[in-house]
Structure 1
Amino acid sequence: MPVAALTTLQRIEHAIDAALRPVVFAGMAALIGVITLQIVSRVFFEAVGWTEEVARFLLVWITFLGATLAFQRGRHIAVTFVVDALPDPLQRVARIAAVLVALGFMIALMVIGYRYMQVQSFQKSASLRLSMTWVYAVIPLCSALMAWYAFVDLVGLIVRGSNDGEPDQPSPEEPPA
């Protein structure tokens, strides 16, 4: 039964991943379009005032969403030589401890990000007059997604004794690093 639950968790993880990828791609395309508009308007016409602000907000969102995708694939920087030198049972314990620390950090970041989002809710952006709540909402959102990914990794370590998101075990759609 635990393996079936893990499979369900991993299916949800892959569905979230499948939804995030086109969002990041669309954000990158929009960023390229906005920056191109900014350059063209400055050179040939009068500068379009909102392009700098939109580009900044898109970059923030793309950065956090891209970091979430990288976290899911185990692509963040990791120093594993100490863990790799341990015997297998201790490696498993060390990996579980590392995932627990990451999970705790993501939960703390989610809470802090939500509070920060609330504090900034009264502020409006200069050009678009957009509530800054929408800009800062990416912090708790992506922290929650990364916490979910860490939770799935933790369940995988406990149930199977392995972690599908480890850098030395790339996902099937990702080439080895």
Structure 2
Amino acid sequence: MDERADLVLAADRHLKWRALDPLERALMQLCGVCLVGFTSTTLLDVVTRVAGHPLLWPQEVTSTFFIYGVFIGASAATRRNDHLQLLALTEAMSGTTRRVFEVMNRAVVMGVGLFLVVYGWQNFLTGFGSFRMPSMLPIAYLYAPIPLCGALVALFSLEQIVNGLRHGFAPPPSNCAS
């Protein structure tokens, strides 16, 4: 694969499994779809209201894109190590102390992911008893990304823990000459 097309930074490659790179790419693309969908349906809603012919469905679609975007984005951000970490604290450490704190940080994030799986799934199942207006779709479809996000957050945290323990958490030294 062309290095320019690689989403994983060279400094973070030691914490990533190449097998999960296509999943990260798909998550990033879905984030883009959600952002475009959220923006365009909000614009449509505003334009139709200003024109004096408001529509009901754009608000429902907008909230769906927003909710899916948040949970898909949280999953992608966890893989990219852009979210949910106390980086400033651990980057100032080295050796065993850093290793312990890096594992603890990621273990806490993995725990949050597992809670999202368990309680998100319960929420999803409960959502079949309530319905959205005006579509009358079960509200469960809004809860669907929660357990999926939790599973991905847990997976990406595990990936970083395993690879960090194998290769170290600190980025490898740069190969460029000073």
**TM-score, reference length from structure 2:** 0.80
* 1:45 CA drift (Å): 3.9
Give the alignment partner of residue 56 of structure 1, picking from 53, 63, 67: 63
* 1:86 CA drift (Å): 4.0
Code of the aligned partner of 2:79: Q
The correspondence of residues 1-177 of structure 1 with structure 2, limited to 5 A, is 10-76=17-83, 78-162=85-169
Unaligned runs of 5+ residues in structure 2 are 1-12, 174-178
**CA distance, structure 2, for counterparts of residue 81 and residue 31 of structure 1:** 32
Aligned CA distance change for structure 1 residues 137 and 92 (closer, same or farther; 3 Å): same
* 1:27 CA drift (Å): 1.4
* 1:83 CA drift (Å): 3.4
Which consecutive segments of 4 or more residues in structure 1 shift more than 6 A? Answer: none
Q: Is the 8 A contact 1:28 1:62 kept in 2?
A: yes
Write out per-residue CA displacement over residues 76-112 of structure 1, whole angstroms, 9 at most, x where no aligned residue: 2543454345441221122112212221221122101
**TM-score, reference length from structure 1:** 0.80
**CA distance, structure 1, for counterparts of residue 50 and residue 122 of structure 2:** 41
Write out per-residue CA displacement over residues 109-150 of structure 1, whole angstroms, 9 at most, x where no aligned residue: 210110111111211111111121111011101111111100
Unaligned runs of 5+ residues in structure 1 are 1-5, 170-177
**CA distance, structure 1, for counterparts of residue 153 and residue 36 of structure 2:** 24
Aligned CA distance change for structure 1 residues 70 and 158 (closer, same or farther; 3 Å): same
Code of the aligned partner of 2:37: A
